[in-house]
């Protein structure tokens, strides 16, 4: 591997010979390239690739890093290198060390199944649950938040249900709720253990608990790993840190992150895992990457200024390797349709006259809901686009129908899968399915087979159930064949159930499911890995996302994304929508300094996606309302600092409106006395 392609900062990190390193890598500074370089350097200098673990937040990122390392090293010396998400890695450890973790026979359940099980728990605890006015999904959210933030139930209730309030009335309400929620959550956990289920959080806890409590476990893993390389360290939450902390004494940590891009606190991420790294990890050092290869200096000047206004000291100033370019533009619009038409016209002009592709444009918004008028205008003007988000491939109903059969053969105690399997067959309702399920669970798992199922389920329904079961059981050790044969048996019934959109939307998913199955050696691995992360498809394409809107079959399209989904994205021209008062920061965050600072980091991430042209929109109505409120004698200090661009230096941007050059309205030079009369006479 040649180090000539790396700058001096990157080389220092790649060649680091200390114990633990935190690499603070600003936006666009080549952090992925540096992780790839570090892994290649370690392998070429004698570290066995199987003793290096790369951890990322998406399967796609992990695959990209591993493939780039393999491509850069001659021969097959890097073939055993492993890259995973945190959850996938924990699942691999549970499978590799079945005796150590004791959970290899458990099935991982997805969000829908967790909700179904929580509803069951609420039903079992109905004597107390009836006193709650909280939906099962909210109880799941509380449970997960408490675990991921490593906080107690009282604080989880305070944050999620009472927006952090701490007063006598709130405390009394929490004390009423807490014991009831405790009963329901314990019932939920009991059901999971009885049916041998693990949810996503359980995977991290099973491994983290064992490593933190058991010296023998740490010794065993110290023989398995020499280095752990962690990407996007700023997005780790306290539960993930609980998992990583024991590795301080097991192997060497190489963690890459950017505290200025920590934007996921709503799911428990704690930027202090980066900010306080050297305090938490003994024998650790910090190095920085500050040379940006993505954006021009004018875009970075605005981004740097935004961070400099923060009370948090980031000690970060990005410098553009590419040099100067265009100033960012702020476009002041009257409403969303004016904004949408401006963007559409700009894209069409650049596409038609300036030789740009549609894929050169990225549009970022706080929410997909806000982009609905924009999408309507794009459809009207025939601009191809994609949006990301929503249900993933393996969460689609028709796919889950097929997976249910695989799941019961993998785990015969999986009651949720049995109910879906049985009720899929025409003629079997929930009552009959529940009765059959009682009979199925009354025998040992080794007695369950196709013949047995046909013996307890009479008629055509029993024959169908048997056919489905045997299609999988006869191919139990060939996952692709199991999926292929099962689909062949289920195809007609699936087509009838989903007749409305079978040909257009659903049928084409099953060849993809077969291709996906080919990469797994066991049913359990396929089910678990698929559930954990299936948002991207084979070869890194966005193949498996279920809800993206495709307006064209061509690859050339504009991407419309939320800011929280934008990490890793970049584009020649980037539009950041509605950077207005009460949006940046959100009005909901006012009064909470930590939330305001996270909002600042959200905007920073958005601004740093642009390569050559950054266009920011905001509404004149919001500006006028904000100006009126801050000029009021009753304005609070909160309101005075409630807009990130309030004191933006004019030289950092240019401003315009869709109708021409934007000019601030000129007021009278001196203040007049108010002229207010009754507006009528009293005659």
User: Is 654 one of the annotated binding-site residues?
Assistant: no
Strands 291-292 and 252-257: unpaired
Q: Give kind and range of the element (H or E) at residue 655.
A: strand 654-657
Scanning the structure block, which residue is given the tokens 């006015």? 133
Residue 288's beta-bridge partner residues? 24
Find, among 53, 14, 48, the residue nearest to 31 by Cα. 14
DSSP 537-586: -GGG-S-SBSS--BS-SSS--EEEEEGGG-TT--EEEEEE----TTBTTB
User: Is 329 one of the annotated binding-site residues?
Assistant: no
User: Is 47 one of the annotated binding-site residues?
Assistant: no
> What crossing angle do the helices spanning 397-410 and 479-497 adopt, rounded to 10°?
140
Query: What's the alpha-carbon Rg for the chain, to the nearest Å?
Result: 28
Q: What's the distance, CA 558 to chain centroid?
A: 21
Tokens of 393: 């491939």
User: Is 72 one of the annotated binding-site residues?
Assistant: no
Tokens of 197: 């289920």
317-345 b/e (C-beta count within 10 Å ≥ 16 → b):
ebebbeeebebbbbbbbeebebbbbbbbe
Distance CA 661, CA 667 (A): 18
Distance CA 154, CA 159 (A): 9
Which H, E and C letters describe 604-627, residue by residue?
HHHHCCEEEEEEEEEEHHHHHHHH
For 596, left (φ over 0), alpha (ψ -120 to 50), or beta?
alpha
C-beta neighbour count of 488 within 10 angstroms: 12
Distance CA 299, CA 563 (A): 17
User: Is 679 one of the annotated binding-site residues?
Assistant: no
User: Is 32 one of the annotated binding-site residues?
Assistant: yes
Distance CA 589, CA 546 (A): 32
- Specify binding-site residues: 25-32
- Specify binding-site residues for ATP: 25-32
């Amino acid at each position: 591997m040649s180090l000539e392609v790396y700058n001096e900062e990157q080389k220092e990190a790649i060649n680091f010979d200390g114990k633990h390193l935190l690499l603070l890598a600003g936006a666009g500074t080549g952090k992925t390239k540096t992780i790839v370089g570090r892994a290649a350097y370690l392998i070429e200098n004698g570290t066995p690739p199987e003793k290096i673990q790369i951890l990322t937040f998406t399967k796609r990122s992990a695959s990209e890093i591993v493939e780039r390392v393999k491509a850069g090293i001659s021969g097959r010396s890097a073939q055993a290198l492993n890259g995973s998400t945190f959850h996938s890695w924990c699942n691999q450890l549970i499978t590799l060390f079945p005796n150590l973790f004791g959970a290899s026979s458990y099935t991982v359940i997805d969000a829908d199944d967790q909700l179904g099980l929580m509803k069951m728990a609420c039903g079992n605890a109905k004597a107390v649950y009836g006193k709650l006015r909280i939906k099962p999904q909210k109880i799941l959210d509380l449970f997960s938040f408490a675990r991921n933030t490593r906080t107690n139930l009282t604080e989880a209730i305070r944050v999620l249900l009472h927006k952090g309030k701490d007063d006598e009335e709130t405390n009394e309400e929490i004390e009423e709720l807490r014991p009831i929620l405790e009963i329901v959550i314990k019932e939920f956990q009991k059901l999971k253990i009885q049916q041998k289920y693990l949810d996503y959080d359980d995977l991290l806890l099973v491994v983290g608990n064992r490593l933190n409590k058991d010296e023998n476990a740490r010794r065993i893993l110290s023989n398995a790993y020499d280095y752990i390389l962690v990407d996007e360290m700023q997005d780790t939450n306290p539960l993930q840190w609980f998992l990583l902390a024991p590795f301080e004494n097991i192997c060497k940590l190489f963690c890459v992150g950017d505290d200025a891009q920590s934007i996921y606190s709503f799911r428990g991420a704690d930027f202090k895992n980066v900010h306080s790294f050297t305090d938490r990890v003994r024998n650790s050092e910090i190095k920085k990457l500050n040379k940006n290869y993505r954006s021009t200096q004018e875009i970075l000047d605005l981004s740097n200024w935004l961070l400099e206004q923060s009370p948090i000291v980031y000690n970060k100033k990005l410098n553009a390797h590419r040099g100067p370019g265009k100033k960012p533009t702020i476009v002041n619009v009257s409403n969303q349709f004016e904004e949408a038409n401006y963007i559409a016209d700009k894209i069409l002009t650049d596409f038609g006259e300036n030789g740009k592709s549609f894929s050169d444009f990225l549009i970022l918004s706080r929410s997909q809901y806000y982009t609905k008028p924009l999408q309507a205008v794009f459809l009207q003007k025939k601009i191809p686009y994609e949006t990301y988000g929503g249900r993933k491939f393996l969460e689609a109903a028709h796919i889950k129908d097929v997976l249910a059969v695989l799941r019961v053969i993998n785990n015969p105690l999986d009651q949720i899968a049995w109910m879906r399997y049985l009720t899929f067959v025409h003629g079997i309702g929930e009552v009959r399915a529940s009765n059959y399920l009682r009979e199925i669970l009354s025998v040992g798992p080794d007695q369950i087979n196709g013949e047995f199922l046909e013996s307890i389920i009479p008629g055509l329904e029993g024959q169908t159930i048997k056919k489905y079961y045997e299609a999988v059981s006869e191919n139990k050790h060939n996952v692709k064949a199991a999926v292929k044969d099962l689909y062949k048996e289920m195809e007609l019934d699936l087509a009838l159930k989903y007749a409305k959109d079978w040909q257009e939307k659903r049928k084409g998913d099953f060849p993809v499911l077969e291709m996906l199955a080919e990469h797994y050696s066991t049913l359990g691995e396929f089910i678990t890995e698929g559930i954990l992360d299936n948002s991207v498809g084979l070869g890194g394409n966005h193949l498996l996302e279920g809800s993206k809107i495709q307006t064209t079959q061509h690859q050339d399209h504009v991407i419309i994304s939320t800011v929280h989904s934008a990490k890793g994205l970049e584009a020649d021209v980037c539009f950041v929508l509605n950077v207005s008062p009460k949006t940046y920061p959100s009005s909901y965050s006012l009064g909470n300094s930590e939330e305001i600072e996270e909002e600042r980091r959200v905007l920073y991430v958005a601004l740093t996606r642009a390569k050559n042209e950054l266009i920011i929109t905001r509404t004149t109505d919001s500006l006028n309302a904000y100006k009126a409120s801050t000029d009021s004698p009753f304005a609070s200090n909160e309101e005075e600092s409630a807009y990130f661009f309030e004191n933006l230096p004019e030289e950092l941007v240019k401003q315009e409106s869709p109708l021409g050059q934007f000019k601030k309205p000129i007021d009278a030079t001196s203040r007049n006395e108010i002229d207010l009369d009754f507006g009528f006479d009293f005659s």
